Structure 1
Amino acid sequence: MAEFKGYRAGLPTIKQIACRLNDKIDDVCAWLHLRGVQEANDLVCKNPTRSDKEAGSFRICTKGPAPMDGGRRGLWIDHATGEKGDAFDLVKYITGVDDIGAKEIGMQILGWNGETIPDLPHVHERPKHEQVDDKQAEREAKKKGYALSLFIGAQEKIAGTPVDLYLKGRGIDLSVLGRQPHAIRYAPACPVGNGRRCPAMICCRQRGDGTQVGVHITYLGKYDGKWTKSREVDPVKKMMGQGPGSFVPIARGNSGKPLKEADEGSSVLIAEGIETALSLSVALPEDRVLAALSVTNIKNIELPPSITDVYLCMDADESGSTARTYNQAARVFKEQGRRVFCVRPPAGFNDFNDVARASFDASSETEAENAPF
């Protein structure tokens, strides 16, 4: 039998360290200061590498068997960006180090040093997130189907429902449009987990070709006579189904056509959050508006060639890594031959939803070349 590389002197390989880190994923999360809420087998927490305002899409499997035993313990995924990997990848992802640096950190977490020769696992291959077993694609298809079934089973008309009242509490009155976005519905008893159910706003996510790929859920609660985000459910927002490149289509604008049939030379406004995008659609009913659901995901959205102008609708205080992420998205769209504009709320407002509460003024827009791109 061929001898595995690294066994001779008891020196662990990356594959072996990754295997043991998957087993010790709780220690890995503690070392990386990743804290969140346990939801079934997953630790759900904010992604510290991006402007993750609410936990929900970044999930780390901390329970059950490890990949070497046919399970998923130690594997992680950010449904908003599509980034994923095992525990070793997680160390690299959060800290920004290379393989050598991650190997040193991994050995530190495991308590391995030059004087301690560990009991090394016999690892032929390092299982990847998408290679855990032959039923992975089938499982993903079932998740997508379940997610879309929640949307299909939800109430289509939201006027007068808790969703409508929640949005009005955020300064968003869809009645001024004379119509509601088809992608938004009300679920009176949306599953939370562990047999619990809660009222929720459920939004359908799709790709540029119109394919429905998942949902975004915001759980709601009534406090002091007002509907707002639930205080009993954590995380209060959740994404289900496939994530990268998907978005919530908020408004089609004057054309009334789906994105894939957009008129030649038309434009699109892209915002991060659903409430921000809805605020824009109410203020600018003639424009097409999409909600990307995360800043990191904006660059993944596939637009048809007929869209020539892209407006990136940012919050007032976007800086640092978030500004760089917008910059990346701007570069992607400009390389596709499109014009890119940066749109920020007027001075004194944090985001466009704040503006919606005080009568929107969309006068501030700058060409990308003069913006922070």
Structure 2
Amino acid sequence: MLNERARELAPDLLPNGVFDPPTGSPTHWKTSNMDDVKSGSYSLTVDLTGKYVGHWHDFGGARPGEEDGDMLDLIRIRRCGGNQVDAIGWAKDFLGITNGDRSSFERARRAIERDASAREAQHAAEIQKIRDGARNMWLHAAVLPGTPAELYLRGRSIDCRALGRAPGALRFRPDATNKEAGSKLPCMVAAIVGLDGAHLGTHRTWISQRPDGSWGKALLADPKLTLGASKGGFIPLWRGDGAGKLATIAPGTDIYVSEGIEDGLSVAMGMPDKRIIAAVSLSKVGSLQLPEQAGSIIIVGQNDPYGSKAVDALEREIGKLQARGFKVRIIYPPRTPIGGGGAPDPAAFNTAPAFKDFNEWLCKDPDGFFGRKAGRAVA
């Protein structure tokens, strides 16, 4: 019953948030994090409609116990100092339920359910419209070769021609609408698919041409956004030596999983025989749809500081994969300067990463890229 009142509760519990979209019929309430500070970024999202109405998730590396939940959890954290009993009492008062009075409960329940069916039907139609729009955006885009999107990747030292082919999931649109810019901008679009091959959503990377003629990410606060669904889905970047869809890989085939497109394709530049997908965001690694016959799931790691929210979030996502029975390993770009010789200094391993991620390694040291073992593989 609380979840059905999410559109009323979320702005009250998280007053510094915003509706998304800001006009029309919003589907989400977004704020910075559980502290609800004004920061210009929106990592905590509350679903206001659909199957998961009232449920929320913090995609920005939340504190333990504050990663996700429903309206009762939000009340417990934001209003009751973490006390569940107090949260239940607060909720009963809010819903007008009198302790021990079954009739008051039934009246509240019926009031909540009256409009639920119509709301769900309307939401289903809206979601289908968004998914159709995301699919059409990708279908009506140009294939990658010869486009500014290919030049953008080449500016990141990712040469599809050297690889011998371009990823079929990546395309180019010269006119993708960007709300932040208030105009249409050039954009690399990527298909997000499920294990069955269904198109779930479209990832967008807006790009712009620099004064020297090269192409880079557009100067926007959020140059990368997703249209449609992405949870459980992935961007198929590289088939390696295999053929066919991810669902039909040979038993024991390892799957390399990057967070973003550029890191995944960088690994393809160094190990073109590997099967590589992008998870779209770190928080969605644990929910990836993956074939049961896969070998190891190898995470394409980044050199984030030990103890950081990103490291904690990655550990949680790995735990989700392991709980589903998958074997998980991680590879990292070098943490010690290349050419130093000898064993890595443990202190330097903690404090002085040579490269933040695989794409930075590829860009800054192309001759040494994968010239030696790529970081560490850890269970």
Could you tell me the TM-score, scaled by structure 2's length?
0.71
Q: 2:147, 2:169 → 1: CA distance?
A: 15
**Unmatched segments (≥5 aa) in structure 1:** 1-14, 108-121
Matched-pair contact (CA < 8 Å) for 2:195–2:289? yes
- Residue 167 of structure 1 is matched in structure 2 by 153
Quick one: which of 343, 363, 366 aligns to 2:373?
Answer: 363
Matched-pair contact (CA < 8 Å) for 2:259–2:280? yes
- Residue 349 of structure 1 is matched in structure 2 by 355
Secondary structure of the corresponding residue to residue 355 of structure 2: coil
Question: CA deviation digits over 1:185-217, x for unaligned, max 9?
Answer: 000101234973211111000112222211111
1:176 Cα deviation from its structure 2 partner: 1.1
Once the two structures are superposed, the pairs formed by residues 190-201 of structure 1 within 5 Å of their partners are: 190-193=176-179, 196-201=183-188
| Cα 1:144/1:79, change in 2 over 3 Å | farther
- Residue 135 of structure 1 is matched in structure 2 by 122
Secondary structure of the corresponding residue to residue 124 of structure 1: helix
1:76 Cα deviation from its structure 2 partner: 7.1
1:236 is aligned to 2:223:
yes
| Cα 1:18/1:138, change in 2 over 3 Å | closer
Quick one: which of 274, 280, 287 aligns to 1:300?
Answer: 287
Secondary structure of the corresponding residue to residue 145 of structure 2: coil
Supply the AA of the counterpart residue of 1:23.
Answer: E
Quick one: which of 128, 139, 142 aligns to 1:152?
Answer: 139
Matched-pair contact (CA < 8 Å) for 1:92–1:102? yes
Once the two structures are superposed, the pairs formed by residues 112-123 of structure 1 within 5 Å of their partners are: 123=108
Q: 1:258, 1:280 → 2: CA distance?
A: 19
Moved more, 97-106 or 281-290: 97-106
Q: 1:353, 1:104 → 2: CA distance?
A: 51
Secondary structure of the corresponding residue to residue 330 of structure 1: helix
| Cα 1:254/1:269, change in 2 over 3 Å | same
- Residue 7 of structure 2 is matched in structure 1 by 22
Secondary structure of the corresponding residue to residue 120 of structure 2: coil
Q: 2:209, 2:55 → 1: CA distance?
A: 33
Q: 2:231, 2:76 → 1: CA distance?
A: 21
1:38 Cα deviation from its structure 2 partner: 6.6
Q: 1:227, 1:165 → 2: CA distance?
A: 6
| Cα 1:276/1:268, change in 2 over 3 Å | same
1:284 Cα deviation from its structure 2 partner: 1.2
- Residue 101 of structure 2 is matched in structure 1 by none
- Residue 315 of structure 2 is matched in structure 1 by 327
| Cα 1:264/1:37, change in 2 over 3 Å | closer
Could you tell me the TM-score, scaled by structure 1's length?
0.72
Matched-pair contact (CA < 8 Å) for 1:266–1:308? yes
- Residue 11 of structure 1 is matched in structure 2 by none
In percent, how many aligned pairs have the same letter? Answer: 23
| Cα 1:276/1:44, change in 2 over 3 Å | farther
Q: 1:257, 1:238 → 2: CA distance?
A: 28
Once the two structures are superposed, the pairs formed by residues 178-327 of structure 1 within 5 Å of their partners are: 178-193=164-179, 196-225=183-212, 226-231=214-219, 234-317=221-304, 319-327=307-315
**Unmatched segments (≥5 aa) in structure 2:** 61-66, 93-106, 336-353
Aligned pair count reads 328
1:159 Cα deviation from its structure 2 partner: 2.6
Question: CA deviation digits over 1:144-174, x for unaligned, max 9?
Answer: 1111000000001x23322122222222222
| Cα 1:275/1:354, change in 2 over 3 Å | same
Secondary structure of the corresponding residue to residue 134 of structure 1: helix
CA RMSD, 1 decimal: 4.3
Quick one: which of 113, 119, 124 aligns to 2:109?
Answer: 124
Secondary structure of the corresponding residue to residue 151 of structure 2: helix
Q: 2:171, 2:206 → 1: CA distance?
A: 12
Secondary structure of the corresponding residue to residue 190 of structure 2: strand
Secondary structure of the corresponding residue to residue 171 of structure 2: strand
| Cα 1:48/1:24, change in 2 over 3 Å | closer
Q: 2:315, 2:9 → 1: CA distance?
A: 37
Q: 1:186, 1:196 → 2: CA distance?
A: 17
Secondary structure of the corresponding residue to residue 368 of structure 1: coil
